[in-house]
A and B are shown apart, each in its own frame.
Chain A
Amino acid sequence: MSDLIERSARDIAESVRSKKLKASEVAEAFCQRVQALDSKLHALLAFDADAVIAEAKKIDESGATGRLAGVPIVAKDNLQVLGHKLTCGSKILGDYTSPYDATAIARLRAEGALIIGKSNMDEFAMGSSCEYSAFGPTFNPWDLERVPGGSSGGSAAAVAASFAPISLGSDTGGSIRQPAAFTGTVGFKPTYGRVSRYGLVAFGSSLDQIGPFARSIGDAALVTEIMGGCDPNDATSLPDASPKLVDALGTGSLKGKKFGLIRSHLGKGCEEGVREAVLKTCKQVEQAGGEIIDIEMPNTAYSVQVYYILATSEASSNLARFDGVRYGARESEDGLLNMYMQSRGKGFGKEVKRRIMLGTYALSAGYQDAYYKRALKVRNLIADEFAATFEKVDYIIGPTTPDTAFKLGANMTDPLAMYLCDIYTISANLSGVPALSLPAGVDNLGLPIGVQLQARHGADADLIGIAHEMEKLIGFDAKPALA
């Protein structure tokens, strides 16, 4: 049974459907894995093995016929899962328990999936290392002195450590793709609007997307296909039904395809190991008949600045609801203003306060034109630049991050240093295009490196198809050294 935890979600579901395995046996194996390792990793904030086994037994009793029958899934703790506690990595929500399932969660559960736990994250998804969690960081399974990335660090570590074949994260500026790169997993951010945000606690509403972590493109495709599709509860969800991502597997071909590369992204600031891995992948693409074309996207050089105005502005509005009134911690009843100021002052962590302050300032009278409105216009320029680029190339290839997993504490003294971790990922959120990180190798310290692929807006099936081919070419099979 020990190889059960290494099997793909598709494999496990097939075995459960054909009655070769019981959902409760699957759950048992993964629960043992969590119990053996999570005290070292701290990937999960909430885990109840008894409840998981009980739910698995119910799946067995009901026939276990879904596309994800019996498949364990870890969900980032900013996703509403009925009956489970929800913290968003923050103290401000107190003992909040979800009164409903997020649409993405409901769709997965309808296919027989089992949510086995909630994962650690940077508070309110604001961070790139999981060090801003109010409950302590998650540690990288590849090196316990290093971060797993963020903000979906717990979800990334969970899949890397085989706590589940699938986990869910959210990506606003790179919070799925960067931890995927740091943990040697596949991380996929679909086109904005592809997966409903109903039940995802909002950070930057025009940027947020739910997406999977997996050990293969195939599993990422299945999960995204099930979650995706129009949702009347999310007015920003795309009007179409979910694209057939599983059908796209095996249909991609690199022959004659054009891959744009921004060569300056491999220059100063990019770690040597990352550069080598990306260039090696580019060679493999060329050997398979694809073409690497040098491209320039000058407006994307402003992505980080645009993001830190728009995301924080939206966050300042979205986080206004945490006021001690309807849920969470209430610090005072000594007047309305005191209730607000103290509940928020005590309940929010450093980084969250920093971003709320920045966003409030950028939106305030006198500064709104210079900051918020200007950033909106530059965002339009960036989106147009992506559209124009995809007239010339089919995909954009490059490093997911400028470095590999850094040591805990390395980026905590300078907020800007942490923000620059997202330098290659942010523009996909600003333009809405689909983007994913594929593990492409390890550096000389044995730390995983991610290659990022982006496709035009809406081309999720196309991106999955080509990523599936590249995954075969790359042949990544390294594993974290866990006891």
Chain B
Amino acid sequence: MISREDVVDTAALARLDLSEEEIERLTQELGKITDYVQQLAEVDIEQVKLGGESFNLSNVWREDEVAPSLKPEALLGNAPHAEAGYLRVPKIVE
């Protein structure tokens, strides 16, 4: 079960503009899915650590050296609105 309010709040967090129909539908569907994943509550995780020990992971480091990267012009080529080598966006700070 998930409330309509939860769906509206989550959509705001996810920056998703949802129609009324979508909100109603998602309330049903997400409710069903969250009920299903609730089964995980029956697993005994008392002794289980949160870290990645099971995966033998370690951080990867490199020297802080400047090296060539992708060219800005190539990357700006895909921008919806680029100007003078910058990305143009709506005003952020009043």
Binding site for B on A (CB under 8 A): 94-97, 99-100, 232, 235, 239, 299, 302, 305-306, 308-309, 316, 320, 323-330, 333-342, 344-346, 348, 353-354, 356-358, 360-361, 364, 370-371, 373-381, 383-384, 387, 415-416, 432
CB-based nearest B residue for A458: B56
Interchain CB contact (< 8 A) of B34 among A337, A361, A380: A361
Q: In the complex the two chains form, what is the Cα distance from A381 to B91 in whole Å?
A: 48
Mask, B21-47, CB within 8 Å of A = 1, is 010001001101110110111010100
Beyond A357-B30, A361-B2, 14 extra complex contacts between A and B, CB < 8 Å:
A239-B60, A309-B37, A327-B80, A330-B80, A330-B81, A336-B89, A348-B16, A354-B29, A361-B34, A374-B41, A374-B43, A377-B43, A377-B48, A378-B48
Taking A96-B78, A326-B87 as contacts, is the C-beta distance between A344 and B32 under 8 angstroms?
A: no
Whether B43 lies near A378 (C-beta < 8 A) is: yes
Say yes or no: A357 contacts B14, CB within 8 Å. Answer: yes
The chain B residues found within 8 Å of chain A, CB to CB, are: 2, 6-7, 9-11, 13-18, 22, 26, 29-30, 32-34, 36-37, 39-41, 43, 45, 48-50, 53-55, 59-60, 62, 70-71, 74-75, 77-81, 87, 89-92
Chain B residues in 8 Å Cβ range of A381:
43, 45, 48
A357 lies within 8 A of B87 (CB) = no
- Beta-carbon nearest neighbor of A340 in chain B: B15
Residues of chain B contacted by A416 (CB below 8 angstroms): 32-33, 36
B10 near A341 (CB under 8 angstroms)?
Answer: no
Residues of B contacting A376 in the complex (Cβ-Cβ under 8 angstroms): 50
Q: Which of A96, A308, A336 interacts with B37 by CB under 8 Å?
A: A308
The chain A residue sitting closest to B81, CB to CB, is A330
B contact residues around A380 at 8 Å (CB): 48-49, 53-54
Which residue in chain A gives the minimum CB-CB distance to B92? A336
Interface contact A364-B13, CB-CB below 8 Å: yes
Q: Which residues of B contact A306 (CB under 8 A)?
A: 40
With both beta carbons as reference points, the residue of chain A lying nearest to B12 in the complex is identified as A341
Nearest CB of chain B from residue A93's CB, rounded to whole Å: 9
Partner of A354, one of B30, B40, B87: B30
Within the complex, which residue of B15, B40, B70, B79 is in contact with A305, where a contact is CB–CB below 8 Å? Answer: B40
Cβ contacts A to B, 16 pairs, < 8 Å: A100-B70, A302-B39, A305-B37, A309-B37, A327-B79, A330-B80, A333-B89, A333-B90, A345-B16, A357-B10, A357-B26, A374-B40, A375-B37, A377-B48, A380-B49, A415-B32
Contact B81 A333 (CB under 8 A): yes
Q: Are B40 and A378 in contact (CB under 8 A)?
A: yes
Select one of B11, B15, B37, B50 contacting A373, CB under 8 A: B50
Contact flag A344-B13 (CB < 8 Å), given A375-B40, A380-B49: no
Pair A358/B30 contact, Cβ less than 8 Å: yes
Nearest 4 A/B pairs, CB to CB = A345-B17, A330-B80, A341-B17, A383-B54
Residues of A within 8 A of B70 (CB): 99-100
Flag if A360 contacts B13 (CB, 8 Å).
yes
Max count, chain A CB within 10 A of own CB: residue among B11, B15, B49: B15
Residues of A within 8 A of B32 (CB): 415-416
A-chain residues with CB within 8 Å of residue B34 when the two chains form the complex: 358, 361, 371
